[in-house]
Amino acid sequence: MNKALIVKIISKDYTIRLEDGSLKLASLAGKMRKGDHPVAGDIVDYRYINDRYIIQSYQKRKNYLIRPNLANIDQVIIVMSMQDPSFSYELCNRMIILIEYNDITPIICITKNDLSDPLEIYKIKSYYQKIGYQIFDTGSNDDADFLKDLLKDKVTVLCGQSGVGKSTLLNKIDPILNIKTQAISKALNRGKHTTRHVELYPEFGGLLADTPGFSSLDLTSVDKDVLASKITAFKPYIDGCRFLDCKHLNEPDCALKEALEKGLIPESFYATYKDLMQFLISGNIYGDRHRTLK
Ligand SMILES: Nc1nc2c(ncn2[C@@H]2O[C@H](COP(=O)(O)OP(=O)(O)OP(=O)(O)O)[C@@H](O)[C@H]2O)c(=O)[nH]1
Ligand SMILES: [Mg+2]
Ligand SMILES: [Zn+2]
């Protein structure tokens, strides 16, 4: 059977990208209409019958996000501005941890570097580079060409608070894409379109989602037994813990706590993990606003 990737779904119309890069309109085979439907980003098997493309099945997903509704995301670009809104380690750390939990690579992009002391940016970049994360910075006097290189061969989602400069970034790399995404967010804000759809646009050899992700962080299904093992900053150490099921909180002979004492992991990064774990255990660290756990 032939393989394709879903780039857009509107109602029952699936736009699929074939291996040669061409886009075709497809529909689901009758047997697929019940149960879980595929989403944008899904890799599907299709048949071409009587001039029609029919999706037969979708392949096992590498990962899946509800917002935006996408499968098989390779990376999330976390956009954080230096000012308006000001940079928050805690927010950035929390996003990193939750993105990695979903088996997606986080990449940090600092914006509005023109509004900040370069030393402050240097400190932030060292903080994240030291623990294994890619981080870039840009501003009104800089281009965003690093983004073009990052997109190649990947499925990418941008995330970040309102006002950090996501649209400005897109505008720098592709003004036409930016206009398309703006039209969608305006339509969504007015509430005219009840069915949200996500579209993956071909950009610089990869696919970029038009809808920002992680605007609210969903903690509903985080499994505290596996969280630490997925975090890049922790990976070099956790095999050294005495207990296989160490949560790295108060256990004896915890290699992660030792790394922390040696200054190999920033205290504040660990603190975000600890807060998150305590929330998962007790359900009230971030207050009722974030109480999405059942
Ligand atoms: N000084 C400065 N201002 C910037 C920079 N990037 C964006 N801005 C300004 O920040 C404001 C918000 O930028 P947007 O690109 O609209 O932010 P956004 O992330 O798309 O915001 P939402 O669409 O609300 O999520 C605008 O007034 C931009 O002109 C920058 O690098 N330097
Ligand atoms: Mg925007
Ligand atoms: Zn441990």
Distances (CA, A) of 160 to 40, 96, 215, 230: 21, 11, 6, 21
pLDDT at 216: 53
Residue 185 domain flag: yes
Residue 97 domain flag: yes
Kindly state if the Cβ of 121 falls inside 6 Å of ligand 1. Answer: no
Please tell me the distance between residue 146's alpha carbon and the centre of ligand 3 in angstroms: 36
Please tell me the distance between residue 206's alpha carbon and the centre of ligand 1 in angstroms: 24
Please tell me the distance between residue 71's alpha carbon and the centre of ligand 1 in angstroms: 28
Q: Which residue has the least CA distance to atom 2 on ligand 1?
A: 112
The single-letter code of the amino acid at 168 is: T
Number of domains in the chain: 3
Strand order of the β-sheet with 155-159 is 134-137, 105-111, 75-81, 155-159, 206-209, 200-203
Mutate to test the pocket of ligand 1, among 95, 167, 181, 216 (most ligand atoms within 8 A of CB): 167
For Cα atoms 36, 20, 169, give the angle at the middle one, nearest 5 degrees. 75
Please tell me the distance between residue 162's alpha carbon and the centre of ligand 2 in angstroms: 7
Same domain, yes or no, for 109 and 201? yes
Low-confidence ranges of the chain (pLDDT < 70): 180-181, 183-196, 214-220, 283-294
Same domain, yes or no, for 54 and 72? no
Same domain, yes or no, for 283 and 241? yes
Same domain, yes or no, for 80 and 205? yes
Q: What is the DSSP letter of 186?
A: H
The rounded distance, in Å, linking the Cα atoms of 254 and 247 is 9
Q: What is the CATH number of the domain that holds 110?
A: 3.40.50.300
Residue 40 domain flag: yes
Same domain, yes or no, for 78 and 52? no
Same domain, yes or no, for 205 and 91? yes
Same domain, yes or no, for 163 and 101? yes
The rounded distance, in Å, linking the Cα atoms of 141 and 237 is 40
Residue 220 domain flag: no
Q: Number of C-alpha atoms within 13 angstroms, CB side, residue 169? A: 30
Residue 145 domain flag: yes
Of all ligands present, the nearest one to the C-alpha of 258 is: 3
Residue ranges making up the domain that contains 184:
67-209
**Number of residues that this document lists for the chain:** 294
Q: What is the CATH number of the domain that holds 242?
A: 1.10.40.50
pLDDT at 149: 96
Of 147, 182, 209, at which residue does a domain stop?
209
The rounded distance, in Å, linking the Cα atoms of 210 and 185 is 9
Burial class (CB in 10 A: 0-12, 13-18, 19+), 239: exposed
The rounded distance, in Å, linking the Cα atoms of 177 and 21 is 18
pLDDT at 184: 62
Same domain, yes or no, for 105 and 18? no
Residue 48 domain flag: yes
Same domain, yes or no, for 157 and 189? yes
* Range 111-132 burial, b when 16+ CB lie within 10 A, else e: bbbeebeeeebeebbebbeebe
Same domain, yes or no, for 273 and 205? no
Kindly state if the Cβ of 68 falls inside 6 Å of ligand 1. Answer: no
Residue 219 domain flag: no
Please tell me the distance between residue 237's alpha carbon and the centre of ligand 3 in angstroms: 8
Same domain, yes or no, for 51 and 76? no
Residue 123 domain flag: yes
Task: Give me 214's structure tokens.
Answer: 């992680």
Same domain, yes or no, for 180 and 283? no
Q: Are 106 and 95 in contact (CB under 8 A)?
A: yes
Atom of ligand 1 nearest to the CA of 164: 19
pLDDT at 193: 45
Of all ligands present, the nearest one to the C-alpha of 158 is: 1
Q: What is the pTM of this model?
A: 0.90
The single-letter code of the amino acid at 279 is: F
